[in-house]
Structure 1
Amino acid sequence: MIAFPFRFRLILLFLSMSALATLSTGSSEATNSGLPLPRFVTLADVQVNARAGPGFRFPINWVYVRKGLPVEVIDEFGHWRRTRDVDGVEGWIHLSMLSGKRAVIVNATSADPSPPMLRRGPNSRSVPMAIIQVGAHGRLLECEGDWCRVEFSPYRGWLPRSVLWGVYEHEQID
């Protein structure tokens, strides 16, 4: 009769330790690729399906038709990445359809809805080079403080980080 409570306690201890191990490593997403969540990536092909769940058996909810578009990876499951786009639309994309290259989309800010000026240097007093339209997407090259160097072919210049979607506020980009 004494053995049952001991076995029961042993099983409870094992289950508790398993639960603690899972909590201490974070969710399975972090251990899947070893990369941090969330993070930004880009679409690797001209046509990419975003599905309702992490697998080919799930229906396609959305089809992206622009290579290089930035998306935010917010979850991982096996070879699938749950992503969010600039409009907040979420879907599951196979990792073979994603690239580690970085890109940004120009967003209007509530403080200044006018299109931002691409500048020669990383400050508002630097020489303006071009007006970049809201919704334009370009390549992210580097960030320095509140400014990021971007390429909107054929132009390369600096934009305030606050008008860009595809880079985090304090993220270091070299």
Structure 2
Amino acid sequence: MIRWKFLLAFMVLGALPLSARAANEDKVPYWASIDTDLANMRVGPGNSYRIAWVYKRRNLPVRIVRREGPWRLIEDPDGDKGWMRDLLLSRERSAIVIGEGLAEMYAEGKASSSMLWRIEPGVVGLLGKCEAGWCAFDVDGHRGFVRESRLWGAGAPEAQRRE
């Protein structure tokens, strides 16, 4: 009898992190990226809806603003919104360089470190950890740190807008 109570308590405790994680995944908005070389954005949540945009840019960051079954209402870096299947999206974080002029990539997350590259607006890369206004950024293996203010896809998804 004691063995069954112990087993039941263990199963309940083991299920708690799973349910917390599932609840977290239901929260919108959240960041995602396009996970394929060709992705259709539709005007509604279904294959019968007209295609509004065809994306041909893997890792393009998008903001998920609503969920409906396997469909996600996304917002792209230009502010366009439409529906995309969840299978075309990844939770891997990415970002796109925004703003005027070239963004500078540094060896460390501080302006006093060595500048490695200058990156044009529109360049997409994989996003790492962001701290103190700097984000780790990887553009096709070229790794460094870029100011968070120059990246769309970094920071809290509720607050960020494309400039």
* Match of residue 48 from structure 1: 39
Matches of 2:130 and 2:96, distance apart in 1: 15
Q: Aligned equivalents of 1:170 and 1:76: distance in 2? A: 15
1:34 match: secondary structure: helix
SS at match of 2:149: helix
C-alpha distance in 1 between matches for 2:147 and 2:115: 13
Cα RMSD (Å) of the superposition? 2.0
- Report the CA distance between 1:35 and its aligned residue: 3.2
Q: How far apart, in 1, do the equivalents of 2:66 and 2:157 lie?
A: 21
Runs of 4+ in structure 1 off by over 6 angstroms are none
Structure number, greater radius of gyration: 1
User: Secondary structure in 2 aligned to 1:81?
Assistant: strand
Q: Which runs of 5+ in 2 are unaligned?
A: 1-21, 159-163
Change (3 A) 1:170 1:38: closer
Distance in 2 between residues matched to 1:44 and 1:91, nearest whole Å: 16
Residue identity opposite 2:31 in structure 1: F
Which amino acid counterpart does residue 137 of structure 2 have in structure 1? V
Pairing of 1:13-28 with structure 2 (within 5 A)? none
Q: Residue 36 of structure 1 is aligned with which of 12, 21, 27?
A: 27
Encode CA deviations 1:145-174: one digit per residue, 9 max, x unaligned.
210000012311000100000112599xxx
Identify the structure with bigger relative contact order (alpha carbons < 8 Å, sequence gap 6+): 2
What is the aligned-residue identity percentage?
Answer: 31
Aligned match of 1:159: 146
> 1:22-171 alignment to 2 at 5 Å?
34-108=25-99, 113-169=100-156
2:19 — aligned with what? none
Q: Normalization by structure 1: what TM-score?
A: 0.74
Aligned length: 137
Q: Where does the alignment leave 5 or more consecutive residues of structure 1 unmatched?
A: 1-30
1:93-131 Cα shifts (integer Å, max 9, x gaps): 0101111111100001xxxx2211100111111110000
Report the Cα offset of residue 67 of structure 1: 1.3
